[in-house]
Amino acid sequence: MDKKECGALLRMVEQEIDTSALRAEYLRGYRRGIEVHSSGVSDETAEEHRRFIDISDDGSGDPYLDTFVRGYRHGFEGISPESPSSTSFLSYRSLQIAAIS
């Protein structure tokens, strides 16, 4: 394997790690949204809930937080979770890859 092949392989591995990390954040948010939905928005969770919903509307600029709150909102609203190949789920990665090219 030459340096060019090695570099391409390492970039592919990093991309898969990032994609997996984003998927994990989405699922953490989704789980949290289901928990809040099932128990209701309590006084203790009201501020957090409003903040998450606001971020899911406007975005934060942090792809991990944005992915978490999108999952939170989907779980809270009872929407089926996104598939790992969902366009919105992978849009951040696509933008990064396009910027590198």
> Taking 90 as the threshold, does the pLDDT of residue 12 lie above it?
no
| Structure-model confidence comparison of residues 46 and 14, the more confident one | 46
- Are 16 and 58 within 8 A, CB to CB? no
Section 11-29 average pLDDT: 86
What is the pLDDT at residue 47?
94
| Model pLDDT, residue 92 | 52
pTM of the model: 0.73
Q: What is the mean pLDDT of the chain?
A: 83
Per-residue pLDDT tens digits for 63-84: 999 999 999 999 999 999 988 7
DSSP state of 61: S
Query: Are the C-beta atoms of 67 and 92 separated by less than 8 Å?
Result: yes
d(CA 2, CA 69): 41
Q: Indicate the helix (H) or strand (E) that contains 2.
A: none
SS3 53: helix
User: Is residue 19 pLDDT above 60, yes or no?
Assistant: yes
pLDDT band at 95 (very low <50, low <70, confident <90, very high): very low
**Hey, where are the domains in the chain?**
3-100
Mean pLDDT of 43-55: 92
CB 53 within 8 A of CB 71: no
